[in-house]
Structure 1
Amino acid sequence: MTNRLLPLILTVSVLALTGCFGGEEQWHAKDISGLMPELEFELVGTGGQTVTPKDSAGNIRLLYFGFTSCPDVCPTTLTDLRKAVNQLPPDYRDDVTTLFVSVDPQRDTPERLGSYASFFGDHVVGLTAAEPELRELTKRYRTTFGYDEPDADGNYNVSHSSAVYVFDRSGKARLLLRPGLTTQQVSEDLAHLASESRS
């Protein structure tokens, strides 16, 4: 009985190892290669200047839509991304740029956005645009945003996606970071992506 089972056990083991190490790359995040368009935008930077992907060409780019008045999701996400980048090997830390795009242009002036983005590190770039341009950009990446009714003081919440889009050095969409990933898992994916595409 044991001799008959041994070949079966060996076969299953080989198949298991093949599934872990062979074939497609294994990512912690969702692989969106070929499913999303490349990185393309024309937005307003914190100094009032026009910013395009060319300004961070050659870097891994993390695209995240949010707003500075966000009470929890945005600061938590940006903090986790900073931790993940800080866990990268030193040679890769300067190779990652986080593009924080505010979908609340009415309140998020370039000055306010600049102060907010700088709190999360030197490699976080604050960007925004007029609402129609923001609608087009979020539609490009199959997401959206919305505004709640203002309260008596004029304050309102903004609904938006919590996903982070990861683009490689050439601007191709590669990964989608969704809630539930640890900073270590994100860091491992970024290190893998940085190492495979470093010139």
Structure 2
Amino acid sequence: MITALLRSPLRRLLPLLALLMLAACSSSAPQPWRLTDISGHMPDLDFNLVDDGGRAVSGRDYRGKVVLLYFGYTHCPDVCPMTLAQLHVVMQRLGPLADDARILFVSVDPARDTPAVLHAYVNAFDPRAVGLTGSPRAIEALVKRYRSAFSREPPRSDGQYEVSHSSAIYIFDRDGKARLLATPAHPQDDLVHDLHLLLAAPGH
């Protein structure tokens, strides 16, 4: 099932793969980060969506917080809940510093993921998680902005369907600058290490 969820059109994922290679080769100087450094390779945190309380929000509403942006959906059978469960453990390990972090779970299934559905879902994992939804056009624009990808699978006989999506976690600093990218291949310790550095650094 995990393989099916991670399957996205390769053509649409090539820009993200190229970004990872560019970031890895951009500097030979020692870096403090264990995750992939994407500083200067991704745009600032910017969107206009609706949060899980039904409020219109933008990227600027999260300035001052370290943001972990993840694209998923509430009917996801394994990848999304495993990722959110891991991020909850990461937040616990960060202790009081985690109060200055926010997990933004952007639904790629806005037809089913209403604000109320998202609220119940994300809060089952961590109180610092916020569900975000919006129009299909707004979601698609945000996905493209960060060179991610998703596609809806054909409906089953019962009318239900799955959504294949990429599984990267985009991390932004307190100023809304894209700084790091994590994948399922990164150990939890790496997330804790790099988030500790970002959270301990003051915003500008």
TM score, norm. by length of structure 2: 0.83
Structure 2: segments with no counterpart, 5+ residues: 1-27
Whether 1:162 aligns to 2:167 is yes
Whether 1:78 aligns to 2:96 is no
Report how many aligned residue pairs link the two structures.
177
Which residue of structure 2 lines up, in the alignment, with residue 173 of structure 1?
A: 178
Query: C-alpha separation between the residues in 1 aligned to 2:92 and 2:136?
Result: 33
**Shift of the alpha carbon at 1:198?**
5.1
**Shift of the alpha carbon at 1:53?**
2.0
TM score, norm. by length of structure 1: 0.85
4+ residue stretches of structure 1 with deviation over 4 A?
none
Query: C-alpha separation between the residues in 1 aligned to 2:71 and 2:192?
Result: 20
Query: C-alpha separation between the residues in 1 aligned to 2:179 and 2:30?
Result: 13
Which residue of structure 2 lines up, in the alignment, with residue 13 of structure 1?
A: none
Which residue of structure 2 lines up, in the alignment, with residue 103 of structure 1?
A: 108
**Shift of the alpha carbon at 1:178?**
0.8
- Superposition pairs for residues 39-58 of structure 1, below 5 Å? 39-58=45-64
Which residue of structure 1 lines up, in the alignment, with residue 93 of structure 2?
A: 87
- Aligned amino acid, residue 168 of structure 2: A
- Determine helix, strand or coil for the equivalent of 1:94: helix
Query: C-alpha separation between the residues in 2 aligned to 1:185 and 1:177?
Result: 9
User: Larger Rg: 1 or 2?
Assistant: 1
Percent identity for Structure 1 against Structure 2: 47
Residues 151, 50 of structure 1: CA spacing in aligned structure 2 closer, same or farther, 3 A cutoff? same
Query: C-alpha separation between the residues in 2 aligned to 1:130 and 1:93?
Result: 30
**Shift of the alpha carbon at 1:194?**
1.3
- Aligned amino acid, residue 45 of structure 1: D
Structure 1: segments with no counterpart, 5+ residues: 1-21
Query: C-alpha separation between the residues in 1 aligned to 2:61 and 2:128?
Result: 12
Which residue of structure 1 lines up, in the alignment, with residue 37 of structure 2?
A: 31
Say what the alpha-carbon RMSD is for the aligned residues.
1.5
- Determine helix, strand or coil for the equivalent of 2:94: coil
Whether 1:60 aligns to 2:66 is yes
Maintained 8 Å contact 1:87/1:184: no
Maintained 8 Å contact 1:89/1:191: no
CA deviations over 1:76-103 (Å, ceiling 9, x no partner): 011111111111142x110110000001
The correspondence for 1:136, drawn from 141, 146, 151, is: 141
- Determine helix, strand or coil for the equivalent of 1:87: helix
- Determine helix, strand or coil for the equivalent of 1:25: coil
Query: C-alpha separation between the residues in 2 aligned to 1:194 and 1:23?
Result: 23
